[in-house]
């Protein structure tokens, strides 16, 4: 596609439920990133995928968070047993490779946990 | 550790210049970026500067980098109402691929 797309654009869920957020990177981009933007905060790095290498999960805030990337393209971020503090905008970005290339961001998924 | 700081709010009159400032702590930063976020939209890359440069100009945008003081600024000339947005400064540290972002500066442009 022309840019990074994410779905859904908005997700409202109840505390304790699991949610899945999807990211479609720019075609041909080998690197994919997930960030979280909480209200009034900057962006917080969550996880990074590069090709077939093991992902950098150093930013995941707890073991309730996981992500996978299938076929080197689409990625899914899963949050289990959601908590109210998980409410944020989850942004996905991709870059041509994982070194110095510019990261292009999707529009984000706004997650609200009631 | 890594930290990026920005002032949270800036108000300017239409037609004036805007200067948004950012400080960072990681001296090994290789690239520094400015992103723009409009309401309800994702982040749009505005410009970036490599750490061995001290200035970069792109149309109305001028980026200044003072590596000694770890200070980055974005100047927008002839600011327009369409420039109203949140501007994020970000650094990429050497050897790492993640970006470290500041909290963002909300720019308000008034007539």
Using CA atoms, how far apart are residues A31 and A17, in angstroms rounded to an integer? 29
- The C-alpha of B14 sits at a distance from chain A's nearest C-alpha, in angstroms, of 25
What does the pLDDT look like over A39-90, one tens digit per residue? 767 789 999 998 888 898 989 999 999 999 988 799 999 999 999 999 999 9
For residues A32 and A69, the answer to whether their CB atoms sit within 8 Å is yes
* Range of weakest confidence among A25-29, A37-41, A101-105, B65-69: A37-41
Decide: residue B66, CB within 10 A, 0-12 exposed, 13-18 middle, 19+ buried: exposed
pLDDT for the residue numbered A72: 77
The pLDDT tens digits for A10-19 are 999 999 999 9
The pLDDT value recorded for residue B92 is 84
Q: How many beta-carbon contacts under 8 Å exist across A and B?
A: 54
Answer yes or no: is pLDDT of A30 > 80. yes
Residue A102 vs residue A3, higher pLDDT = A3
Lookup: tokens for A32: 């994919």
The mean predicted confidence, pLDDT, of chain B is 90
- CA distances to A63, A87, A99 from A103, rounded to whole Å, are 26, 24, 10
pLDDT higher for A101 or B74? B74
pLDDT at B17: 97
- Tens of pLDDT along B45-77? 999 998 888 999 999 999 999 999 999 999 999
pLDDT at A99 over 70: no
pLDDT band at B78 (very low <50, low <70, confident <90, very high): very high
**Dist. CA A36–CA A61, nearest whole Å:** 10
Bond prior to B76 in cis (omega within 30° of 0) = no
Q: Within an 8 Å CB–CB cutoff, is residue B31 touching chain A? A: yes
B51 part of contact set with chain A, CB < 8 Å: no
CA–CA gap between residue B37 and residue B40 (Å, rounded): 8
Question: Is residue A29's pLDDT more than 70?
Answer: yes
Nearest-CA neighbor of B29 among B68, B87, B76? B68
Give CA separation, B34 vs A9, A59, A96, B3, B47, in Å: 24, 22, 19, 15, 6
Nearest to A104 by CA among B34, B32, B42, B41: B42
Per CB-CB distance under 8 Å, the chain B contacts of A31 are 97
User: What is the token pair recorded at B2?
Assistant: 């890594």
């Amino acid at each position: 596609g022309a840019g990074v797309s994410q779905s859904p654009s908005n997700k409202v869920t109840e505390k304790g439920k699991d949610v899945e957020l999807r990211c479609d990177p720019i075609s041909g981009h080998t690197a994919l990133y997930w960030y979280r933007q909480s209200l009034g905060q900057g962006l917080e790095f969550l996880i990074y995928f590069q090709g077939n290498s093991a992902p950098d999960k150093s930013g995941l805030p707890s073991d309730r968070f996981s992500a996978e990337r299938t076929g080197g393209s689409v990625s899914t971020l899963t949050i289990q047993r959601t908590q109210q503090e998980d409410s944020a905008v989850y942004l996905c970005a991709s870059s041509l490779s994982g070194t110095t290339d510019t990261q292009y961001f999707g529009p984000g998924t706004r997650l609200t946990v009631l | 550790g890594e930290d990026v700081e920005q002032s949270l709010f800036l108000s300017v009159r239409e037609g004036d210049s805007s200067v948004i400032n950012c400080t960072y702590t990681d001296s090994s930063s290789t690239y520094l970026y400015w992103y723009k976020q409009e309401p309800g939209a994702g982040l749009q890359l505005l410009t970036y500067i490599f750490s061995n440069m001290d200035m970069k100009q792109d149309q109305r945008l001028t980026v200044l980098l003072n590596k000694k003081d770890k200070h980055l600024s974005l100047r927008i000339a002839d600011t327009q109402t369409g420039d109203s947005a949140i501007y994020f400064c970000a650094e990429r540290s050497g050897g790492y691929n993640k970006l470290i972002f500041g909290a963002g500066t909300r720019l308000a442009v008034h007539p």
